[in-house]
Chains A and B, each alone.
Chain A
């Protein structure tokens, strides 16, 4: 293999598994170390800079970082990255001095943002300090988008949401709440320099053709509409027997909210097998904990009504059959339909985009699924001054994806307003420095904690089921938060190898607790992977390959299960290994334009 090009910032970035997996590339180990040091404010600010909503995300993030976490490849559970973020948010001090207020400069450009969800709020936050005049339109009476209308208060208290949303609105944003934009054409005529559309995926799927749908309508609700009406206090009760259809996170929020509004026998009924449900494992756990059975492999057949009123539903029992490519088909077991009683049914089987307010003759192209054609790197539409982000751009995802897309759209808008090509994107900010403090001393804590993942305590069920606004999770207390933080392996502290210093004493190879390092004859990647101390079977993880050493061999390090313990560097007599801290920050609007 050719020697690894470690000058490419993406090489070391990829080693930081959590950060690489985070859509916004939050420098996770950086903030976890700050939490361990008791510097909650600083930890919060590291988060705020990259993901904008640390308090919200520390409670609700989909956490793509956790399945990627290195620790999960070494023991059962990854670091509780998400809940550590909450520790920073809950314990931070006064941050007002660090959050920009209204900008004192103006660049004379006016931007309209449609929708006040996380994507648009991110664009606002990134652009307002640069002197842009931001106009934010939303049909709700407050900002937050679906974080307000959909995510229930028992998962995300209003104070936390209000706090982080107003941090942005206070940057001199011109808000136009309770304003539904019914025509993009009209808005474009108002001479904004650019328009950002972050209107989400507001339409919940229905089962319009299922027998009994119309007759039972009064007691059949679309999940996301129903959740919004609960959030806005138009709905405060539900029948005792409730069926929730669907297996995603919306279904989990619907069933748990039902339990709080009077549902005594609430059941989730889902077509797919339990293990294949879309909902995150922890959301399923929480639902089951609240005495909500999840009945899998049941396909809805009909709504059953009596005297014009819903009394339940019929389901066909199925079992999954997989073809040779692993594609699933649900095949009926042939048993007679299963009847489940219900006073109310909530349909939570997916969301769709809908853009009735965008005229189709403006130059914005829509594909056959009625989705706008959007560049997935720059987020520009076919109209050079109209940008998309969040669920409205590439379909429904989650808050952190909306934030990441907001950042990218903001960069594009800034480039566009400065007459630059959208492809001339500023490079990421990187830094690499030695952590060496003495012969065997490092500026990071290189001891490896053996603790297993700590469980986040919850308020008692008796208490939380009584009050839909009572937050269920209590968050880590500080001592537990510290111990959980110590589980992080500091994957950003890179093992940096200098060929010219190596005397090939093998000490690093001998000491490495996870046998990452091998000195051997060079070869093609596949061959080399098979000849290491322990064969490198995980091809998603890179090999660090040196240039040729004095004896003709090369040093090959498999990044897969490196503990970043620094033992190689401690045992190296010549400091050919050094532990160097790598900081990678995604570029932001304004970084290279002016």
Chain B
């Protein structure tokens, strides 16, 4: 068993604009089961951050409990991280974000962590539109505690031991749209060509960005009859669009905009190019997104891509009117203004 990553890298490994190779974005060697979908998502995060030239020390990885929540150890080892309590990642992330708004907040959670014990927290962080990426590594089970059905397991899905799930599964994407989420995407751990640009778009999005990633649990939920296995997901996947993330494209040619191609400008000047595969759906139209999702349930399809995006959203800091400066950079004179200031303030209330 190998515990240490060999130090050697490919001698021709490309470097990004910061002069870093992908190696500088990797973490320690994963201890998850071989073939776990979560590891592929970690690799997609590495690739996305490397390509976007994000400085690793400007990222905070937040997680709860579960195999999924362990993954921050396996990517971005040069970033900050907080492995919190089961289901409580959103409140810790909120606190951190309030204190230092200059970091990229990358929340990683599981379907158990988010849809069961953490459901309350999940709901409220969406309501507040906290500026963070929230990735659910969704395997339909509690992987870490040996594969019990989770709240996202579909009705009728068969577990490894043969029992059939009787309860309705929670659709995290539908719920998020309902709650007013401003960026909602769904993807599959086994499709990096889609997942990587979605992660990049989510990082660019100013506000709460949910990515529900189907991520097969090879050990407890990859059996025949499971609706979260590699085979089932591959057979039932239906993409809304292909996604290209175009960083900081200054000039957008209008002829890109047509029935098939939708260009969405992101807050930071980058663009999303969505090649739509379905005519009846529009990523900035909430109703069409909800319709598309409901239809997919009826057709037993798994809809992937960026389902809904509101690129003009206001995130928590903007809503609360907090200071632009991270708390750790506020100096004494700003925090304790002179006597006159208090008088001025008081008089403004008179």
Contacts and interface: CB of A to CB of B under 8 A. Distances in A.
Interface string B210-234: 0000001010000000000011001
Interface string B1-27: 110111111111110000000100000
23 contacts: A439-B1, A448-B6, A450-B7, A503-B35, A503-B231, A504-B190, A504-B230, A505-B35, A505-B37, A506-B40, A510-B40, A513-B6, A513-B8, A514-B9, A514-B10, A516-B10, A535-B12, A550-B234, A561-B11, A570-B1, A571-B34, A571-B35, A573-B33
Given A571-B34, A572-B35, A73 B190 contact: no
B1 A441 contact: yes
B40 A447 contact: no
Nearest to A560: B10
B190 A514 contact: no
A74 B13 CA distance: 12
Q: Which 3 A-B pairs have the closest CB atoms?
A: A573-B35, A510-B43, A440-B1
B9 A513 contact: yes
B35 A514 contact: no
Given A446-B2, A447-B2, A570-B1, A507 B36 contact: yes
B5 to A, nearest CB: 6
A537 B34 CA distance: 30
Interface in B171-201: 189-190, 192
A563 interface: yes
Interface of B: 1-2, 4-14, 22, 29-30, 33-37, 39-40, 42-43, 189-190, 192, 216, 218, 230-231, 234
Contact of A73 (B11, B14, B218): B11
A534 interface: yes
A519 to B, nearest CB: 9
Given A450-B7, A503-B230, A505-B218, A510 B42 contact: yes
- If over half of A's interface residues share one DSSP class (helix, strand or loop), that class is named, otherwise mixed; here it is loop
A61 to B, nearest CB: 27
Interface string A567-593: 100111110000000000000000000
A534 B15 CA distance: 11
- Looking at A510, A514, A566, which has the most chain B CB atoms within 10 Å of its CB? A510
B10 A561 contact: yes
A102 B12 CA distance: 55
B13 A515 contact: yes
A346 B244 CA distance: 71
A75 interface: yes
Bin chain A's interface residue count: 35 or more
Interface of A: 73-75, 439-441, 446-448, 450, 503-507, 509-511, 513-516, 534-535, 537, 550-551, 561, 563, 565-567, 570-574
Given A441-B1, A447-B4, A570 B10 contact: no
Nearest to B47: A510
Contacts of B8: 74-75, 448, 513-514, 561, 563
A37 B190 CA distance: 41
A534 B12 contact: yes
Given A535-B12, A561-B11, A573-B218, A505 B2 contact: no
Nearest to B1: A440
Given A441-B1, A447-B2, A570-B2, A510 B34 contact: no
Contacts of A439: 1
B218 A506 contact: no
- Looking at B6, B22, B35, which has the most chain A CB atoms within 10 Å of its CB? B6
A125 B175 CA distance: 81
A550 to B, nearest CB: 8
Contacts of B192: 506
B238 to A, nearest CB: 15
B316 to A, nearest CB: 34
Contacts of A450: 6-7
Nearest to B26: A513
B2 A565 contact: yes
A75 B12 CA distance: 12
A503 B8 CA distance: 27
Contact of A505 (B1, B6, B29, B40): B40
B35 A574 contact: yes
Contacts of B5: 513
A162 B35 CA distance: 57
Contacts of A572: 34-35
A446 B1 CA distance: 9
Contacts of B39: 507, 510-511, 571
Contacts of A571: 30, 34-35, 39
Contacts of A505: 35-37, 40, 189-190, 216, 218, 230
B234 A551 contact: yes
B10 A534 contact: yes
A487 to B, nearest CB: 11
A561 B190 CA distance: 25
A572 to B, nearest CB: 6
A201 B13 CA distance: 47
Contacts of B231: 503
A573 B36 CA distance: 8
A448 B2 CA distance: 10
Contacts of A440: 1-2
Contact of B43 (A441, A503, A506, A516): A506
Contacts of B9: 513-515
A563 B12 contact: no
Contacts of A503: 35, 230-231
Contacts of B33: 573
A75 B6 CA distance: 13
Nearest to A509: B43
A75 B2 CA distance: 21
Contacts of A507: 34-36, 39-40
A565 B29 CA distance: 13
B34 A515 contact: no
Given A440-B1, A441-B1, A574-B35, 4 more contacts: A511-B29, A511-B39, A514-B6, A571-B34
